[in-house]
Amino acid sequence: MREKEDKQEMVYGIRPLMEAIRAGKEVEKVFVQKGLGGNTFRELMPLLKERQIPYQVVPVEKLNRLTRKNHQGVIAFISPVGFFNIEQLLPGIYESGRTPFILILDKVTDVRNFGAILRTAESAGVDAVLIPSKGAAQLNAGTIKSSAGAIYKIPICREHNLKEAILYLKNSGLRIAAVTEKAEKVYFEAGLAGPLALIMGSEGEGISPEYLKLSDLRIRIPMLGEIASLNVSVATAVVLYETVRQRLQKQ
Q: For the domain 86-250, what is the CATH code?
A: 3.40.1280.10
* Domains of the chain by residue range: 2-78, 86-250
pLDDT value of residue 102: 98
Q: Where do runs of H (alpha helix) occur along the chain?
A: 2-8, 14-22, 39-50, 60-66, 86-95, 111-123, 141-147, 162-171, 209-214, 232-250
Q: Read off the amino acid at residue 182.
A: K
Superfamily assignment of 2-78 in CATH?
Ribosomal protein L30/S12 (3.30.1330.30)
Q: What is the mean pLDDT of each run of 10 residues along the chain (251 residues)?
A: 46 90 86 88 89 89 89 89 92 96 94 94 97 84 86 92 96 97 93 97 88 96 87 96 95 78
| Alpha carbon separation from 62 to 32, 65, 91, 99, 167 (Å, rounded) | 10, 5, 43, 45, 37
pLDDT value of residue 8: 44
| pTM of this structure | 0.83
pLDDT value of residue 215: 96
Burial class (CB in 10 A: 0-12, 13-18, 19+), 9: middle
pLDDT value of residue 6: 42
pLDDT value of residue 82: 86
